[in-house]
Amino acid sequence: MDDQTRMLAGLGGLGGLTQDVGDPDSVRKQLGQPQQDIGDILQQIMAITDESLDEAQARCWPEEAPAQWGGTDDPTEGGGAGRGTAGGALPLNFQHRKHALNCHRMKPALFSVLCEIKEKTVLSIRGVQEEDPPDPQIMRLDNMLLAEGVSGPEKGGGSAAAAAAAAAAGGSPNDGSIEHSDYRAKLAQIRQIYHSELEKYEQACSEFTNHVMNLLREQSRTRPISPKEIERMVSIIHRKFSSIQMQLKQSTCEAVMILRSRFLDARRKRRNFNKQATEVLNEYFYSHLSNPYPSEEAKEELAKKCAITVSQVSNWFGNKRIRYKKNIGKFQEEANLYAVKTAVDAANVSAQASQANSPATPNSGGYPAPCYTPDGRL
């Protein structure tokens, strides 16, 4: 009989320890009775935990088996990894003893107590600042990536965000969608790289986490490792990986900013309106020269006719008013031209109307030339 088996047997022999072995409180209560025995057990535990890995191994499993309940807490360090694997390759002798240990009725209770002791000593020193509040930096990055359409919903999000960004940046997006196909393509590229990298990180993180968790779970059969401790280890791993993720997010944000400054901020790039649009605007302007301030509805109507935005209509009228006012003489010819045009159009409409009313009306197009003032008004 080796030390541990003896110890477990000894525990089993403690007075009244026959029920509720899974409940640490109950065990503690019962353990509290025989002071002498507790001292013995603790001494045995100390003896086991104090001895080196080699000693333990030599004493417990002289030839082949690994040490248990000793060594480092960190499964990622040194010999911890793989030692506890429950693979079928382990010698039969070891398997038997391990099985005996695992099945011992006192094991869960004892482990709970040991975990608690461990918790109160070693881990309380390490894990002081474990509850990390959501990092404001990473939240900022997340928000930005979402706003830029890099993270978040797949299709449409990107272009919508680009249009939104253009609107926010410029006040009057030049119909958002037209110029920025190149921008959107680049943004999609960034988005794709970001997602594939993120996926890689997430996969690596979950793989590593699983690996460590399996390791710890396996080791928890032979070492006092509480679920809380495993949780803590997992959160440490997640923290490490999230810092890597933050770097990824940061560099993605930078890339997006550079892209934006290169594409969207070149919004001053302009196209002249087409001839028809200019004509429509001028017609309205000169036919309302006494009050060239189109209402919101009129602007919308004009915008629709000219296939431009309402704010472009506003810009156009703003520019036109100020430039006309500054140099009426220069615009005189244009004013006359549009005055005639408007009059002819009106005449045509009127003629058509009267023709509809009385088809026999003669001289349908023969209206006198419009009389207009020097500023172009009829």
Partner DNA sequence: TTGCATGATTCTAT
Partner DNA sequence: ATAGAATCATGCAA
DSSP state of 89: T
Interface pattern 282-301 for DNA (x via CB under 7 A): -----------x--x-----
Interface pattern 156-175 for DNA (x via CB under 7 A): --------------xxx-x-
For DNA, give the closer residue by CB, 166 or 339: 166
- To DNA, the closest distance from the beta carbon of 363 in angstroms equals 37
Spell out the residues 6+ positions from residue 377 whose beta carbon is closer than 8 angstroms to its own.
Answer: 289, 290, 339
Residues 58, 61, 63, CA angle at the centre, nearest 5°? 75
Cα–Cα dist 65/100, whole Å: 14
Considering only the stretches 180-188, 232-240, 267-275, 336-344, report the one whose residues sit in contact with DNA under the rule CB under 7 A.
267-275
Q: Take residue 267 and report the two structure tokens written for it.
A: 């919004």
Residue 312 is a binding residue for DNA (CB under 7 A): yes
The interface with DNA within residues 329-368 (CB under 7 A) comprises 330
Count the residues of the shown chain that bind DNA, applying the rule CB under 7 A. 26
Residue 266 is a binding residue for DNA (CB under 7 A): yes
Residue from 154, 270, 357, 371 touching DNA (CB under 7 A): that is 270
Interface pattern 172-191 for DNA (x via CB under 7 A): x-x-----------------
Residue 321 is a binding residue for DNA (CB under 7 A): yes
- To DNA, the closest distance from the beta carbon of 284 in angstroms equals 13
Spell out the residues 6+ positions from residue 148 whose beta carbon is closer than 8 angstroms to its own.
Answer: 161, 165, 187, 253, 256, 260
Residue from 143, 325, 345, 374 touching DNA (CB under 7 A): that is 325
**φ, ψ at 180 (rounded to 5°):** -100, 25
Considering only the stretches 105-113, 210-218, 249-257, 316-324, report the one whose residues sit in contact with DNA under the rule CB under 7 A.
316-324
Q: Take residue 103 and report the two structure tokens written for it.
A: 């099945």
For DNA, give the closer residue by CB, 18 or 278: 278
- To DNA, the closest distance from the beta carbon of 346 in angstroms equals 25
- To DNA, the closest distance from the beta carbon of 278 in angstroms equals 5
Residue 370 is a binding residue for DNA (CB under 7 A): no
Interface pattern 31-70 for DNA (x via CB under 7 A): ----------------------------------------
Cα–Cα dist 10/13, whole Å: 5
Query: 60 and 66 in contact (C-beta within 8 Å)?
Result: no
Q: Take residue 121 and report the two structure tokens written for it.
A: 């000593």
Residue from 63, 121, 125, 269 touching DNA (CB under 7 A): that is 269
For DNA, give the closer residue by CB, 72 or 319: 319
- To DNA, the closest distance from the beta carbon of 168 in angstroms equals 11
Cα–Cα dist 106/153, whole Å: 53
For DNA, give the closer residue by CB, 321 or 377: 321
**φ, ψ at 377 (rounded to 5°):** -75, 150
Q: Take residue 315 and report the two structure tokens written for it.
A: 């810009």
Spell out the residues 6+ positions from residue 140 whose beta carbon is closer than 8 angstroms to its own.
Answer: none
For DNA, give the closer residue by CB, 12 or 171: 171
**φ, ψ at 70 (rounded to 5°):** -135, -175
Alpha helices of the chain — where are they, by DSSP H? Answer: 3-12, 24-32, 35-50, 53-60, 80-83, 92-103, 107-118, 124-126, 136-147, 157-170, 181-219, 227-263, 275-287, 296-306, 310-326, 328-357
Residue from 76, 209, 315, 364 touching DNA (CB under 7 A): that is 315
Residue 272 is a binding residue for DNA (CB under 7 A): yes
Residues that bind DNA (CB under 7 A): 170-172, 174, 266-273, 278, 293, 296, 312, 314-316, 318-319, 321-323, 325, 330
